[in-house]
């Protein structure tokens, strides 16, 4: 056959018939092959289903963060040194403040003791300063001052009460005299 001539339809029909007859002779082989292929596909399908069920299960996700600190870097070293210096300064300031507060407390107690005594001279103040060097003496002085102040408050209350009673008595006497005069 040449390219220029047209192919006869009967020849095409004959070719199709030969292909069809050859296919008819081998259908059993194709079915067996397809069954073997299907068993392999079934195995793969089962595996795929197992994988799908594993994927669908909730999973626990762990996050691990790693932070590295390089001591060799300048900013890290200098920040730690600066922080240590600030902490030391704050500790020193707190200790100094505690000492000042303690001194104020002692001075207040000394003032209250001298006020309790009513009078003082240089020798009594010197003795008082010497007593404040010992904690036991400070405790005794504190108890004495607190007892004196308690008694002074009670005495002031009694005096105030007597004054009020006296004022009431005077008021009642005036009322009695006004009633007599009527």
Same domain, 26 and 101: no
Residue 124: inside a domain, yes or no? Answer: yes
What pLDDT shows up at residue 12? Answer: 66
The answer to whether residues 131 and 137 touch, using CB atoms and an 8 Å cutoff, is yes
Residues of the chain with pLDDT under 50: 1-4, 33-36
User: What is the C-alpha to C-alpha distance for residues 169 and 163, in angstroms, rounded to an integer?
Assistant: 10
Q: Where are the alpha helices (DSSP H) in 26-73?
A: 27-56
Give the per-residue pLDDT at 28.
55
Give residue 144's domain range.
Answer: 84-181
Element housing 136 (H / E): helix 135-181
Phi, psi of 176 (to 5 degrees): -65, -45
94 shares a domain with 34: no
* Per-residue model confidence (pLDDT) at position 38: 67
CA angle 4, 7, 13 (to 5 degrees): 165
The verdict on 168 and 90 lying in the same domain is yes
Q: Is residue 130 part of a domain?
A: yes
Cα–Cα dist 113/105, whole Å:
12
- Which pLDDT score, from 0 to 100, does residue 21 have? 77
- Whether residue 2 lies inside any domain: the answer is no
73: which DSSP letter?
A: S
Residues 163 and 123 in one domain: yes
Residue 5 is assigned to a structural domain of this protein? no
Question: Residue 61 domain-assigned?
Answer: no
């Amino acid at each position: 056959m040449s390219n220029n001539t047209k192919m006869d339809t009967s020849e095409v029909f004959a070719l199709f018939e030969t292909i069809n007859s050859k296919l008819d002779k081998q259908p059993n082989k194709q079915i067996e092959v397809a069954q073997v292929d299907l068993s392999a596909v079934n195995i793969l399908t089962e595996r795929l289903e197992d994988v799908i069920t594993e994927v669908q299960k909730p999973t626990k996700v762990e996050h691990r963060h790693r932070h590295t600190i390089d001591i060799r870097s300048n900013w890290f070293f200098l920040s730690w040194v600066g922080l240590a210096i600030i902490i030391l300064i704050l500790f020193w300031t707190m200790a100094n403040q505690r000492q000042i507060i303690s001194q104020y407390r002692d001075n207040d107690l000394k003032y209250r003791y001298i006020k309790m005594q009513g009078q003082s001279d240089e020798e009594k103040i010197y003795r008082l300063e010497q007593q404040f060097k010992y904690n036991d003496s400070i405790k005794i002085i504190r108890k004495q001052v607190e007892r004196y102040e308690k008694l002074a408050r009670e005495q002031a209350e009694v005096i105030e009460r007597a004054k009020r009673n006296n004022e009431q008595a005077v008021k009642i006497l005036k009322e009695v005299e006004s009633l007599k005069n009527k």
